[in-house]
Amino acid sequence: MKSPMEEAHAMPVTSFFPVAGIHKLIAIFLVVLSWILVHKWSLRNQKGPRSWPIIGATVEQLKNYHRMHDWLVEYLSKDRTVTVDMPFTSYTYIADPVNVEHVLKTNFTNYPKGEVYRSYMDVLLGDGIFNADGEMWRKQRKTASFEFASKNLRDFSTVVFREYSLKLSSILSQACKAGRVVDMQELFMRMTLDSICKVGFGVEIGTLSPDLPENSFAQAFDAANIIVTLRFIDPLWRLKKFLHVGSEALLEQSMKLVDDFTYSVIRRRKAEILQARASGKQEKIKHDILSRFIELGEAGGDEGGGSFGDDKSLRDVVLNFVIAGRDTTATTLSWFTYMAMTHPAVADKLRRELAAFEAERALEEGVALADAAGEASFAARVAQFASLLSYDAVGKLVYLHACVTETLRLYPAVPQDPKGIVEDDVLPDGTKVRAGGMVTYVPYSMGRMEYNWGPDAASFRPERWLSGDGGAFRNASPFKFTAFQAGPRICLGKDSAYLQMKMALAILFRFYTFDLVEDHPVKYRMMTILSMAHGLKVRVSTSV
């Protein structure tokens, strides 16, 4: 016979509380728990978009993805550091130069590219310099640094940039004659692609030929760039990749075209090197960047060349230099042209500088300026002006330099640049960041912040870069003007990029005027580079 206590333990709970009562208690508990979680998560991050359990700020970020850079401007104008939570990580965005210096220089080793970024970009950039960390990055940077410092490469680049700027001028001249609308962004992309292939890899691919042939490599490269950028906010990309569906299926197709072109360039280069050696004509081996890496791969040893001994490593080198030498320069040239069209006073001042430069240089060289009347004489006049644009002479175009720099301040080629976090850290403004997350400095936002540039931060004003006495150019801290990054990873190709842009722009704005096609939309598209979503459709006319 059971005791009363045993009987009580044996009785079901429902004997003490009705079933309906238990359900009500559970429901109340879940409501309270949900309120606590929602309240906790929605208030945990006052600096940035509202964050919710599990999904973080995904919904708001997806809603604003097409205008993400301006979305960040809105938040960073209120707080210099904001955090955006995502399902599997969190991004801390910074726009204060003090924080940027901490990440890019002071505590550099704690903020590498990181595994998360590498996993997103690996299919496109592989182990190339923009995607590498540690010793692999140091080896490539050492080699690239040596090449960019080479006078031979500088002189060769000057000749190539002049050559392709003249080819672009010829195409614009024909467009003027035919009254044809042109897409300047497309033309700039063709010019810079041809240039980087000639300077970087010693090959002529001819996309800037007068008939503007279709280029499957360029189209596939752009598609891949867009899709890998989408990975940063698409939590399902790995599943799509596994199933070979959607954007990841298109990425796979695009990368096959990209790789086919890249490996063909490498094979051709290696064959030319072998042929030159076999004929005993070592002097015929071109000293472009790819050839240098091929030689290092063959050498091995302490110089680090063993890292570049296989075609996959060389493929990564090629594609990283393509994105550096083609996309960034072409987008800056496009935004510059748009800024000049929408700021006629700036364009007029620039043209006056170019005309004065031409007259002064012609006098120095003892050259009589040709008459620009007639098609043949116009081409001759353009070629004559281009011949005056030596490496040193281009440096005298101070206002042009200021205009390019002001364009980069507002429209940086790389609008945001994320870094991984190795260990927990505290930024100079007191923000705590956790290992495994990401910190992103945002050049696009930084250029628009009044706390960085004053009340006219959003205005296009090249004069901000010039001193009052004589108009000499004034540099800004690279941690404030971050278009070329800063610290140990500062862009090695900065001088080369300025050279090409100033060479092309000097010719174009000395001899042509541009008018935007009516109702043509000008806005950026979301990819790693700040390119224009619909190109830059313009009508061109000669100005001399």
Q: What is the CATH number of the domain that holds 536?
A: 1.10.630.10
Residues 104 and 207 in one domain: yes
On whether residue 48 sits in a domain, the answer given is no
Residues 39 and 146 in one domain: no
* Helix or strand run (H / E) with residue 29: helix 19-43
Which carries the bigger pLDDT value, residue 302 or residue 182? 182
Burial class of residue 430 (count of CB atoms within 10 Å of its CB; 0-12, 13-18, 19+): exposed
Q: List, as residue ranges, the binding site for heme.
A: 491
CA torsion sign for 215, 257, 252, 229 is negative
Mean pLDDT of 486-495: 94
* pLDDT score of 306: 47
On whether residue 49 sits in a domain, the answer given is no
Residues 39 and 183 in one domain: no
Instruction: Tell me how far CA of residue 434 lies from CA of 85, 110, 420, 421, in angstroms.
Output: 12, 11, 10, 7
CA distance 264 to 205: 12
Q: What is the pTM of this model?
A: 0.85
Which has the minimum average pLDDT: 54-68, 223-237, 486-500?
54-68
Residues 29 and 163 in one domain: no
Number of domains in the chain: 2
Residues 462 and 334 in one domain: yes
Residues 190 and 276 in one domain: yes
The per-residue pLDDT for range 23-47, each reduced to its tens digit, is 666 666 665 555 444 444 444 445 7
Strand-pairing partners, residue 183, are 537
CA distance 5 to 477: 80
Residues 123 and 187 in one domain: yes
- The answer to whether 449 and 77 have CB atoms below 8 angstroms apart is yes
Residues 138 and 34 in one domain: no
Six-digit token string for 337:
């042209």
On whether residue 126 sits in a domain, the answer given is yes
pLDDT averaged over the chain?
86
On whether residue 370 sits in a domain, the answer given is yes
Residues 22 and 118 in one domain: no
On whether residue 51 sits in a domain, the answer given is no
* pLDDT score of 401: 98
DSSP letter string, 439-486:
EEE-HHHHTT-HHHH-TTTTS--GGGGB-TTTT-B----TTTS-TT--
The per-residue pLDDT for range 424-452, each reduced to its tens digit, is 999 999 999 999 999 999 999 999 999 99
On whether residue 52 sits in a domain, the answer given is no
Q: List, as residue ranges, the binding site.
A: 491
Residues 39 and 62 in one domain: no
On whether residue 53 sits in a domain, the answer given is no
Domain of 290 in residue numbering reads as 58-542
On whether residue 140 sits in a domain, the answer given is yes
Residues 224 and 371 in one domain: yes
Residues 470 and 421 in one domain: yes
Mean pLDDT of 382-404: 95
